[in-house]
A and B are shown apart, each in its own frame.
Chain A
Amino acid sequence: MSAQSPTLFSAVLKRPDAARRPWVATKAVRAVRRLGVGKPDPLGWLLGPALLLLVWTLGSMSGLIDARILPAPWATVSTAADLIHEGRLQANLAISAWRAAQGLAFGVVAGVLVALASGLSLWGGYVFDGLVQVKRAIPVLALIPLIVLWFGIGETMKVTVIAISVFIPIYLNTHAALRGIETRYVELAETLGLSRWTFVRQVVLPGALPGFLLGLRFAVMAAWLALVVVEQLNATSGIGYMINLARTYAQSDVIVVGLVVYALLGLTSDLAVRQVETRALAWRRTFGR
């Protein structure tokens, strides 16, 4: 190291005179990330929906939006209040949520079990993966006639359709994550002499957790989608039934209330999964968090 460097360092460390050196920032300024999207505000995503609400309100107030096509926000709110007062909204919501929850539970459990069987063993993969790929090529909606034939049009059919829609994203993401475990970690486990069970428990499963949670987010969306479909099909209860009935009587306000409920269900459940994700993946430093 040359003899000059200490003076160089002390010159830099000396408190700079702000007047004479305007280019030296005297106040501590945190460096701003130049690339990447930066740290988002946790409530930032509400901006878009708020703008939509604003446009809707202004449109209805000015009469640009015909109330027969889309009722005004305040009319929707009062309809919702009526529905709650009558107890119809809660009753239908409870039924719909229960259907979705059952389908989600069965689909997730089945998806995880089959993904483990096919992800952790070569033969399991040969048996199950091909089957799932074939199944994936057939849209769930196309299976509905067959399912109706087997299970009738009751609750079993509805829960089955939801469970199948949930199964696919859970399986695909979990399986890919299990198989995608990095060779570096496999080598590490070999040199540490881990047993197969320890390897699976300590390395493979935690490593596959992000994939599973991503699958879960898709699965929750798939569950609501399937719910909408089966409730339009032949239901005598549930939010979908309520909407269908409203269509018959041309009650567009009830339809909008139903749609808002669907949106709230989808958003809250996605938020819940994201919450679980943040907790479970505390070890991950991710882009935009």
Chain B
Amino acid sequence: MNAPFTPPAPESLACEPVVRVRRLSRRFTLKGVLDGVDLEIRRGEFVALLGRSGCGKSTLLRALARLDHEAEGDGEIVVPERRSVVFQDARLLPWKRVLDNVILGLSGPDAEARGVRALLEVELLGREASWPYELSGGEQQRVALARSLVREPELLLADEPFGALDALTRIRMHALLKRLSEAHRPAVLLVTHDVDEAIELAHRVVVLEQGRVAADIAVELPPDGPERSVRFAALRRQLLGRLGVAEREAAPTLISSGDPP
């Protein structure tokens, strides 16, 4: 794996946000979930969304994906037309081969070539004709990523996409997602419950609490060196504190700091 490296926040941070959420509220029968969420994401910006289980992360993401038909609420949402969702389950159509899953709904003579290129990017070249059941969980998730990226989204929404993967596969997926999001530069909203994952990947970490954005912290880590480890640890402690977890309670992970492996 490449040395973990958080690039400097993109210069385009100065430009217009592609996602704008104002005073968003959502409620399910009798149960308020979101209560005045404000959030902006700029082009090329990678935002991680943290929060306790049941705090409404998925609800927010589904609202941005325009999938929340059953929730009531109001507020203002501006999202780009071209957006892709990576779900927690890879959600491949079992009756379509890998390549057909990737290019599902694409038209045009170059659709297949684009699909093959996307599979190359996720390191799955040669598996075009496999059935989804013949792939491992991580491979399926990579196909789902290829399916999202082949559409060249302006906004990539991902709801715990690596939640079901083992720690090693997850590290490889982090590197992959990082590389791909830097190459394609969509705005990214990644829902996760893994603080390390959030710091590792994102330019900004947003914490959702009691239906609102309770913290919005820029991740500005030097690319390498002992300084990085110290700052990583401090940020980790700060975020865990916000989530109401003392650090010694948090499970140790394989990427506890920026040490090169």
**A interface residue numbers (CB < 8 A to B):** 184-185, 187-195, 198, 202-203, 206-207, 209, 281-285
Please tell me if the beta carbons of A282 and B131 are within 8 angstroms of each other in the complex: yes
Please tell me if the beta carbons of A191 and B65 are within 8 angstroms of each other in the complex: yes
Please tell me if the beta carbons of B105 and A206 are within 8 angstroms of each other in the complex: no
Please tell me if the beta carbons of A284 and B93 are within 8 angstroms of each other in the complex: no
**In the complex, which residue of chain A has the Cβ closest to the Cβ of B89?**
A184
- B172 interfacial contact with A, CB 8 Å: no
- B5 interfacial contact with A, CB 8 Å: no
- B57 interfacial contact with A, CB 8 Å: no
Please give me the 6 A-B residue pairs with the lowest Cβ-Cβ distance, nearest first.
A206-B95, A191-B85, A194-B105, A283-B95, A192-B105, A285-B133
Q: What's the least CB distance linking A131 to chain B, in Å?
A: 30
- B94 interfacial contact with A, CB 8 Å: yes
A190 contact set on B, CB distance < 8 A: 66-67
A281 contact set on B, CB distance < 8 A: 95
A206 contact set on B, CB distance < 8 A: 93, 95-96
7 contacts between A and B (CB under 8 A): A187-B67, A193-B105, A194-B104, A202-B96, A283-B97, A284-B95, A285-B133
CA distance A184 to B67 in the complex (A): 11
CA distance A195 to B106 in the complex (A): 11
A282 contact set on B, CB distance < 8 A: 131
Interface residues of A: mostly helix, strand, loop or mixed?
A: helix
Please tell me if the beta carbons of B91 and A209 are within 8 angstroms of each other in the complex: no
A192 contact set on B, CB distance < 8 A: 84, 104-105, 147, 151
Q: What's the least CB distance linking A277 to chain B, in Å?
A: 13
* CB-contacts of B138-173 with A (<8 A): 147, 151
CA distance A289 to B85 in the complex (A): 34
Most buried by B among A185, A188, A198: A188
Please tell me if the beta carbons of A191 and B83 are within 8 angstroms of each other in the complex: yes
Q: What's the least CB distance linking A188 to chain B, in Å?
A: 5
Please tell me if the beta carbons of B131 and A188 are within 8 angstroms of each other in the complex: no
Q: What's the least CB distance linking A182 to chain B, in Å?
A: 10
Partner of B94, one of A188, A191, A198, A284: A284
**In the complex, which residue of chain A has the Cβ closest to the Cβ of B133?**
A285
Please tell me if the beta carbons of B131 and A283 are within 8 angstroms of each other in the complex: yes
Q: What's the least CB distance linking B13 to chain A, in Å?
A: 27
Q: What's the least CB distance linking B108 to chain A, in Å?
A: 14
B105 contact set on A, CB distance < 8 A: 189, 192-195, 198, 202
CA distance A270 to B94 in the complex (A): 25
Partner of A188, one of B87, B132, B151: B87
CA distance A285 to B134 in the complex (A): 9
Q: What's the least CB distance linking A184 to chain B, in Å?
A: 6
Please tell me if the beta carbons of B91 and A185 are within 8 angstroms of each other in the complex: yes
CA distance A283 to B96 in the complex (A): 8
CA distance A216 to B106 in the complex (A): 33
A193 contact set on B, CB distance < 8 A: 105
B67 contact set on A, CB distance < 8 A: 187, 190-191
A195 contact set on B, CB distance < 8 A: 105
Q: Given A184-B91, A185-B93, A283-B94 in contact, is the A191-B84 Cβ separation under 8 Å?
A: yes
Flag B65-107 by CB within 8 Å of A: 1 or 0 each.
1110000000000000001110101010111110000001100
Q: What's the least CB distance linking A281 to chain B, in Å?
A: 8
CA distance A190 to B157 in the complex (A): 14
A203 contact set on B, CB distance < 8 A: 93
CA distance A191 to B81 in the complex (A): 10
CA distance A135 to B105 in the complex (A): 39
CA distance A275 to B84 in the complex (A): 39
A207 contact set on B, CB distance < 8 A: 93, 95
CA distance A187 to B93 in the complex (A): 12
CA distance A282 to B89 in the complex (A): 22
CA distance A150 to B85 in the complex (A): 58
Q: What's the least CB distance linking B50 to chain A, in Å?
A: 23
B96 contact set on A, CB distance < 8 A: 202, 206, 283
6 further A-B pairs in the complex, CB-CB below 8 A; given A191-B67, A192-B84, A283-B131: A188-B91, A193-B105, A281-B95, A283-B95, A283-B97, A283-B132
Q: What's the least CB distance linking A217 to chain B, in Å?
A: 19
CA distance A187 to B94 in the complex (A): 15
Flag B216-238 by CB within 8 Å of A: 1 or 0 each.
00000000000000000000000
B91 contact set on A, CB distance < 8 A: 184-185, 188
B83 contact set on A, CB distance < 8 A: 191
CA distance A207 to B91 in the complex (A): 13
CA distance A88 to B140 in the complex (A): 59
Partner of A209, one of B65, B87, B95, B133: B95
**In the complex, which residue of chain A has the Cβ closest to the Cβ of B92?**
A188
